Amino acid sequence: MNFTIRPGTKADFKDIWRLLKDLAIHEKMLDEMIVTYEELERDAFSQEPWFESLLAEVPEENKEGFKIVGLAVYFYTYSTWKGRSVYLEDLYVMPEFRGFGIGKNLLSTLAKVVKEKHCVQLELSVLGQNNRSRAFYSGLGAQDITLRDGWHSLRFDAQSLKNVIL
């Protein structure tokens, strides 16, 4: 299959939004997607963006009329023990375009960004029940640090944060 990987631009935002919604539907978590279209667009393309994206594009529109068929959403973090890091928030390829190397190429392109930015690691989270994704990442060398190091991911949601603020 012929496709290209490139950075997302503001002109691509409708497709970025569409793919992120598709991902939420695919994971059966659409009700947890509370960010608005306007907020996400602002955060992606402001003067100091909160995240960046890579897009997979095919040369011709598919049956639904889309050329953008996959994306990777990422942002920069920092480890005081390791140094610069990148966090992969989302990697998604439309179901009918899976199995052609698009996801692997998105990840490979992101790995090049990690290297170019002198980052030392790429981190991500995968839902426990998403065995296919877990196998995909581990097959490429990702380590499950929950099992290996005993690290657990924790989160304060908006309500929990109210309990922390003094």
The H or E element containing residue 57 is: strand 52-57
Whole-number Å distance between alpha carbons of 16 and 12: 6
Whole-number Å distance between alpha carbons of 24 and 32: 8
Bridge partners of 90? 73
Q: 33 and 24 in contact (C-beta within 8 Å)?
A: yes
DSSP state, residue 59: S
The H or E element containing residue 7 is: strand 4-7
76 catalytic, yes or no? no
Overall size of the chain counted in residues: 166
Catalytic residue among 37, 76, 78, 137: 137
Neighbours of 65 (CB within 10 A): 6
3-class DSSP state for residue 6? strand
Q: Which residues are catalytic?
A: 137
